[in-house]
């Protein structure tokens, strides 16, 4: 039985336009995890509730939250956010702001049989389901988990939930909360969420306006999401590392020389986000993914840390000879050494050699071995060959 008074008794002024959505207290059995949760790993997207629960337990430190709930129960100050699992067809075409004033809709969401999908608070809901269900813990083979008192069980069995009519209605709120807000998701989850909003018909400009994005972050992460999708579909690449190290792709796609290499417009606002890489640059996209993330276990990435992207890879791609070396050898260090041109490399090496020879002067004596004389002869021959190369040939 719902703890709150029936929402039918609420004032008819509740609607959109900045007013609060209906908030109900709903039995936890009527609340279900979101199979499209952007934070879920790709392999768990769209799976059944047990699989989703398992993934959330594995990746999001559910046990820590369980101990908190054991001591405190559920804080009503943090309601879940949910939508009806299946909104009846006779509500289609009615705008969300009108629905929250619709008597039949209010009756429907108050019905004890109505089921809901939670879009905000999946980690909390997973924790509660595991705390209250022995069978679910056994099914997931969870052996150590807090035991809770009857008082806490009673408190967790019915939860405060803000109800939105549809997933699309919730998108702006979640975007503000997790893209630019204080509870930011990891970068790939943000990108997946922005992609979902675009799929729902919301433009990038509208997303930026809704979430208060003044630095084009939504556009940047959506670009990188599209690059991952393109690499996956064009080359059948395993993009798991790209998703896990999404920040590498964000950093790389912001470098001018890497943009040029991929055929991207320099200004992020000018990039065609639906088709960012020209067909004649698709192999370059594959090279970038290989250099950043490797290819399975057989081929390792050429970068070891993020600063290699800005300090080495970007300079290499400004020079065609250096780029060719990287393509043929996958040796970023060698490629970087000629990224400023062969003449610069020669000058740098001559300076190093001269510096080392000057340091050696103080250690040479007349009694030194013939080995030193032999190496000096080799050095003299090398210097002579350099002079020959530099001397113009007579006609």
Residue 274, φ and ψ in degrees, nearest 5: -80, -20
Residue 132 lies inside a defined structural domain of this protein: yes
Q: How confident is the model at residue 360 (pLDDT cuts 50, 70, 90)?
A: confident
DSSP code, position 249: H
Residues 93 and 38 in one domain: yes
Dig out the tokens for 2 from the structure. 């719902």
The pLDDT tens digits of the residues spanning 371-382 come to: 777 777 778 877
For the segment 100-125, the average pLDDT, to the nearest whole number, is 91
Residue 209 and residue 145 share a domain? no
Pair 240, 294: CB distance under 8 Å: no
d(CA 62, CA 37): 16
pLDDT at 368: 61
pLDDT at residue 170 tops 60: yes
Q: Would residue 317 count as lying in a domain?
A: no
Residue 344 lies in a domain: no
Q: Predicted confidence band at 367 (pLDDT cuts at 50, 70, 90)?
A: low
CA separation, residue 123 to residues 69, 136, 170 (Å): 12, 15, 17
The domain boundary residue, chosen from 241, 266, 291: 291
158 lies in the same domain as 198: no
Last residue of a domain, one of 234, 262, 291: 291
How far is the CA of 105 from the CAs of 7, 102, 352, in angstroms?
Answer: 11, 5, 79
The rounded Cα 224 to chain-centroid distance in angstroms is: 9
68/105 same-domain check: yes
Instruction: Specify if 247 maps to a domain.
Output: yes
Q: In this predicted structure, which of 22-26, 172-176, 206-210, 243-247 has the lowest mean pLDDT?
A: 172-176
Residue 202 lies in a domain: yes
81 in a structural domain = yes
Mean pLDDT of 51-64: 89
At 331 the pLDDT is 95
Give residue 282's pLDDT. 96
pLDDT at 15 over 50: no
Residues 28 and 119 in one domain: yes
pLDDT the model gives residue 376: 78
| Of the candidate ranges 8-22, 96-110, 138-152, the one whose mean pLDDT is the lowest | 8-22
Least confident span in 127-131, 177-181, 305-309, 354-358: 177-181
Number of domains present in the structure of the chain: 2
Question: 286-289 contacts: CB < 8 A, separation 24 or more?
Answer: 286/231, 286/234, 286/235, 286/237, 287/327, 288/252, 288/258, 288/261, 288/262, 289/231, 289/235, 289/237, 289/239, 289/242
Q: Are 242 and 150 found together in one domain?
A: no
One domain, residues 101 and 215: no
The most confident of 192-201, 239-248, 282-291, by mean pLDDT: 282-291
Using a cut of 0.75, tell me whether the model's pTM lies above it: no
Is the domain of 33 the same as that of 125?
A: yes
Average pLDDT, the chain: 85
Mean pLDDT is highest, among 6-10, 74-78, 315-319, for 315-319
- Rounded distance, CA 214 to CA 85, Å? 34
For residue 395, pLDDT beyond 70: no
Residues 86, 201: one domain?
no
What is the domain range of residue 265? Answer: 187-291
Residue 368 in any domain: the answer is: no
Q: Is the pLDDT of residue 13 over 90?
A: no
Predicted confidence (pLDDT) per residue in 256-270, tens digit: 999 999 999 999 999
Q: Which of 291, 311, 337 is the last residue of a domain?
A: 291
CB 74 within 8 A of CB 148: no
159 in a domain, yes or no?
yes
- Among candidate residues 36, 42, 33, 41, the one with its CA nearest the CA of residue 58: 41
Same-domain status, 191 and 161: no
User: Residue 338 is encoded by which pair of tokens?
Assistant: 């000629």
- pLDDT at residue number 17: 43
Q: Are residues 121 and 204 in the same domain?
A: no
Over residues 84-96, the pLDDT tens digits come to 998 888 888 777 7
Q: How many whole angstroms separate alpha carbon 303 and alpha carbon 305?
A: 6
261 plus 146 within the same structural domain: no
Residue 374 CA, chain-centre distance (Å), reads 58
- The pair of structure tokens assigned to 273 is 């986000």
């Amino acid at each position: 039985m719902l703890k709150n008074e029936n929402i039918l008794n609420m004032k008819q002024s509740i609607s959109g336009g900045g007013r609060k959505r209906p908030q109900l207290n709903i039995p936890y059995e009527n609340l279900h995890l979101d199979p499209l949760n952007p934070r879920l790993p790709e392999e768990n997207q769209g799976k059944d509730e047990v699989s989703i629960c398992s993934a959330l337990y594995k990746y999001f430190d559910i046990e820590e939250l369980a101990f908190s709930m054991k001591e405190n129960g559920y804080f009503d100050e943090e309601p879940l956010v949910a939508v009806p699992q299946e909104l009846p067809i006779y509500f289609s075409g009615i705008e969300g702001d009108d629905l929250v004033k619709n008597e039949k809709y209010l009756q429907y969401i108050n019905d004890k049989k109505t089921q809901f999908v939670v879009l905000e608070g999946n980690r909390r809901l997973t924790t509660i389901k595991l705390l209250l269900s022995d069978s679910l813990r056994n099914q997931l083979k969870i052996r150590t988990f807090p035991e809770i008192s009857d008082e806490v069980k009673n408190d967790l069995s019915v939860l405060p939930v803000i109800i939105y009519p549809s997933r699309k209605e919730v998108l702006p709120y979640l975007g503000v909360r997790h893209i630019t807000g204080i509870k930011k998701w990891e970068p790939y989850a943000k990108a997946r969420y922005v992609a979902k909003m675009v799929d729902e018909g919301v433009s990038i400009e509208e997303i930026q306006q809704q979430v208060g994005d003044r630095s084009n972050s939504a556009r940047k992460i959506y670009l990188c999401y599209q690059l991952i999708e393109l690499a996956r579909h064009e080359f059948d690449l395993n993009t798991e590392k790209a998703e896990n190290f999404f920040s590498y792709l964000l950093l790389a796609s912001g470098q001018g020389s890497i943009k040029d290499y991929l055929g991207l417009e320099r200004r992020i606002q000018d990039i065609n986000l639906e088709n960012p890489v020209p067909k004649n640059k698709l192999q370059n996209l594959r090279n970038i993914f290989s250099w950043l993330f490797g290819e399975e276990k057989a081929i390792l990435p050429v970068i070891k840390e993020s600063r290699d992207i800005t300090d080495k890879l970007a300079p290499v791609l400004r020079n065609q000879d250096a780029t060719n070396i990287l393509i043929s050898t996958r040796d970023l260090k060698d490629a970087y050494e000629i990224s400023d041109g062969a003449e610069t490399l020669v000058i740098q090496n001559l300076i190093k050699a001269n510096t080392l020879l000057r340091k050696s002067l103080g250690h040479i004596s007349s009694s030194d071995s013939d080995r030193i004389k032999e190496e000096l002869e080799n050095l003299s021959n090398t210097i002579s060959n350099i002079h020959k190369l530099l001397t113009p040939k007579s006609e």
